Structure 1
Amino acid sequence: MYRSMMQVFVKRSAQALEFYQNVFDAVLICSYYNEDGTLMHSELDVFGQVIAVSELEKENTVSGNTMMFCLHFGEGKESIVQKIYDSIKDGANIINPLSKCDYSPLMADLIDKFGVRWCIFV
């Protein structure tokens, strides 16, 4: 296998790509646009991991195909987790606000304004 990546399909994909670039201080690896300005495919380098963003087409929707992106930074990286949380929480559905939990001294669980669920923790 050459590589693996996480891929997310969202509405307003071009806006989502810009949002995730800012939230994660991500580097754009590539982007390919559809004629209507939505993303056919794009890739971001998020702390050494690839997150791909594409436009959600109605025919691509599958019931039960729900997942969470879990980003584990490790102890000593609390400032990174705090910055991400502060950037991503606007317009989000906060399931668990940034706080201590059983497995981490700092964790947040939320669904962002594009409908993507994230667990961010040290």
Structure 2
Amino acid sequence: MSVDVVTHLNFRGEAREALTFYQSVFAGDIALVTYQDAGNVTDPSEADQVMWGQVAADNGFRVMAYDVPSRMPWNRGENSFFVSLRGKTAEEVTAHWEKLSDGATVVQPLGPAQWAPLYGMLVDRFGITWVVDVVNR
């Protein structure tokens, strides 16, 4: 038996933009269902927001996201979670790092670390903290 763990990101009106950005970084297929698509509109101004969305790539990358309706509490939070991105080669990791860094705040520049050939941390333009490294085997 196996289990897949998928990071689920919560936004307030930015889910479509975030998923499109992550698809541009990692490739793969994007799937979106709006509140209107699902027949679940409670606020007409939010009808085109994402009720369920996902990016899934052949390289194993997968992330889900939705727009929290305005009737529900939501706060971007601070250090509430990190998304860990681990690759097998420096080239693979560096390519993703360069794309993720667009509009990001770099917390720890990508470079050698005691525990990994490459390690870095950034907060992307959507406020999501990414921990990026090369698997040390």
What does 1:18-57 align with in structure 2 at a 5 Å threshold?
18-28=20-30, 30-35=31-36, 36=46, 37-46=48-57, 47-57=59-69
Whole-angstrom distance in 2 between the partners of 1:105 and 1:42 = 33
1:109 to 101, 112, 121: 121
Unaligned runs of 5+ in 1: none
What is the Cα deviation at residue 26 of structure 1?
Answer: 2.8
Structure 1 pair 97–14 and aligned structure 2 pair: CA distance change class (3 A): same
Whole-angstrom distance in 1 between the partners of 2:3 and 2:111 = 37
Q: Highest CA radius of gyration, 1 or 2?
A: 2
Answer yes or no: is 1:72 the counterpart of 2:89: no
TM-score normalized by the length of structure 2: 0.75
Unaligned runs of 5+ in 2: 37-45
Query: How many residue pairs align between the two structures?
Result: 119
1:99 to 105, 111, 114: 111
**Secondary structure of residue in 1 paired with 2:16:** helix
Percent sequence identity over aligned pairs: 21
RMSD: 2.2
Contact 2:26 2:61 (8 Å CA) reproduced: no
4+ long deviations beyond 3 Å: 1-4, 62-65
